[in-house]
Amino acid sequence: MEHVRVASVLALLTIIGCGSATVGATAGAVPAAGRWAGPSVPSPDGGVVQTVIYYGPWQCNATYMAQCERKCAAEGHALLGCIWIADIKGDWTGRFMSLPARGGTRFAVKHCCCSYPTVGNVPVLRRMWNNARSGFRREWADEFGAWPQTRDGVNWAGHHIHDLLHGGAPVARGNIIPVPDNVHLELNEAYPACYSRDPRWLGVGPVKPYLD
């Protein structure tokens, strides 16, 4: 796989997940279901970057739901629902004009449950991911720090944002995100419900439902 810079990976995740920046927690926000904070890693352009991931899943807000409606329509599909999977926050620290400087961005990772047909070769796609998984984790480590693990040293699952059953790419760099077990279990229940027009995933949620 081609080596991709941190900023490029975040941008790619944003595109694949139909994401955009989120700011400002809203009233009633609660702690995220999970959180991963990576180490500070050197930025290719100088300084260091730390990546923090906040996990849902949450209902999509009005902006993201509208984005999904446009995405599905552009592909000739109907929107069945929208799952906001996680937020990825990147914080940069370095120097600008010889002075200390800080900056950052935040991307929403979400899946638009368009009326995609199911595919019949999921076992083949799953084997492709299984064969590529170790290399994928190494490339993640090069960009963000070591792939997240449990306290017992077990690797977190790699979740396919666009699921394999509905034609998601099995080894695409921007289609996979590490998730803790509790989040993965909830996502595995949310996806079938989303594709079945479950009211929860057709409902519109708050602008930012979680606390940092």
pLDDT one digit per residue (tens) for the chain, 212 residues:
333 344 444 444 433 444 455 556 666 788 899 999 998 888 777 888 889 999 999 999 999 999 999 999 999 999 999 999 999 998 877 777 667 776 778 899 999 999 999 999 999 999 999 999 999 999 999 888 999 999 999 999 999 999 999 999 999 999 999 999 999 999 999 999 999 999 999 999 999 999 98
- pTM given for the model: 0.85
**Strands 30-31, 210-211: pairing kind:** parallel
Q: What is the pLDDT of residues 106-127, one digit of tens each?
A: 899 999 999 999 999 999 999 9
Tally the C-alpha atoms within 13 A of residue 208's C-alpha that lie toward its C-beta. Answer: 17
Those residues whose C-beta lies under 8 Å from the C-beta of residue 81, and which sit 6 or more positions away, are 113, 193, 194, 195, 197, 198, 201, 202
The verdict on residue 157 lying in a domain is yes
Whether 69 maps to a domain, the answer reads yes
**Domain tally for the chain?**
1
In a domain, 1, yes or no: no
* Residue 16, pLDDT score: 40
Domain assignment present for residue 202? The answer is yes
**Residue 38: strand, helix, or coil:** coil
The answer as to whether 103 is a domain residue is: yes
Q: Which domain holds residue 41?
A: 6-211
What is the SS3 assignment for 89?
Answer: strand
Q: At what angle do helices 122-144 and 6-16 cross, to 10 degrees?
A: 140
